[in-house]
């Protein structure tokens, strides 16, 4: 049966840092927490392979689907929507089915979904398909010992005593709400990281919520190491053997 459970990583070696990752226009927004002194830093990685190459990372949580169904829904998404209802459930959208990644045009992928699944594909899901492919091409099931799919709103709800955020993340009130939750959890550097990356890469490269989301997932990565993170899953694996789970 699908379940919401506390997650543990097992006997992973302690390495130097944890990473929270969110897709952004310039690539991947990364927030890093040093496990020795809790120092926080951030950067934009041009490829996910570069993130996987950070050997010091004991755990990485990324806001991107990992593990894809052939035709049906993912139980982990249904569990996340239930946890975030009634305020933020719409932030969990349905991932593309694995065969949809083979199409070059949205219209073709959408038509395939309607024919084979009885449901098309949202434009929002199609827009992140290149990043889903990028991760899918770069990882194996073995990587999931130190890599997980996360959802920032699930992570923030855990930080907020299981209560979802009240405001959408792109509204001024929502940004203030999320920043307060991050700071209460000891993550005080997110605004400085955002302003620094915006200055370095340009205003169109990254949004404030990209950094806030990555920061929430860095805290999730640390919580997963400690056995305190939420894990939403029915333990199902996809055709590649990737477990379908959402951490928060």
pLDDT at site 4: 33
Other C-beta atoms within 10 Å of 36: how many? 8
Say if domain 3-91+128-247 classifies as CATH 3.30.420. Answer: yes
Residue-wise pLDDT tens digits, 85-117: 999 999 999 999 999 999 999 999 999 999 999
Pairwise CA distance, residues 111 & 121, whole Å: 8
- pLDDT of 207 higher than 90: yes
What is the four-CA torsion angle of 94, 240, 213, 215, rounded to 10 degrees? 160
Residue-wise pLDDT tens digits, 215-243: 999 999 999 999 999 999 999 999 999 99
pLDDT at site 229: 97
Residue-wise pLDDT tens digits, 1-17: 233 333 333 334 457 99
- pLDDT of 160 higher than 80: yes
pLDDT at site 3: 36
The secondary structure of 51-102 as a DSSP string is HHT-TTEEEEEEES--S--SSS--HHHHHHHHHHTTTTGGGSPPPPPGGGGG
What SS3 class is residue 33? strand
pLDDT at site 15: 72
């Amino acid at each position: 049966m699908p379940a919401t459970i506390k997650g543990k990583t097992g006997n992973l070696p302690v390495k130097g840092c944890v990473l929270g990752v969110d897709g952004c226009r310039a690539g991947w927004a990364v927030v890093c927490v040093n496990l020795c002194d809790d120092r926080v830093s951030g950067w934009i990685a041009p490829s996910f392979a570069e993130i996987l190459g950070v050997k010091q990372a004991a755990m990485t949580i990324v806001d991107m689907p990992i593990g894809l169904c052939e035709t049906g829904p993912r139980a982990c998404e249904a569990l996340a929507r239930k946890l975030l209802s009634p305020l933020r459930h719409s932030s969990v959208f349905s991932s593309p089915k694995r065969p949809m990644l083979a199409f070059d045009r949205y219209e073709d992928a959408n038509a395939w979904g309607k024919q084979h699944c009885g449901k098309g594909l949202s434009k929002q899901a199609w827009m992140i398909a290149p990043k889903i492919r990028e991760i899918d091409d770069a990882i194996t099931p073995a990587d999931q010992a130190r890599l997980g799919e996360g959802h920032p709103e699930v992570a923030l709800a855990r930080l907020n005593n299981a209560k979802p955020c009240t405001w959408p993340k792109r509204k001024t009130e929502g940004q203030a709400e999320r920043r307060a939750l991050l700071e209460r959890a000891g993550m005080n550097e997110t605004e400085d990281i955002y302003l620094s990356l915006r200055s370095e890469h340009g205003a169109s490269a990254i949004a404030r919520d990209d950094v806030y989301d990555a920061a929430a997932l860095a805290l999730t990565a640390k919580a997963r190491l400690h056995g305190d993170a939420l894990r939403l899953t029915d333990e199902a694996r996809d055709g590649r053997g990737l477990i379908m789970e959402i951490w928060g």
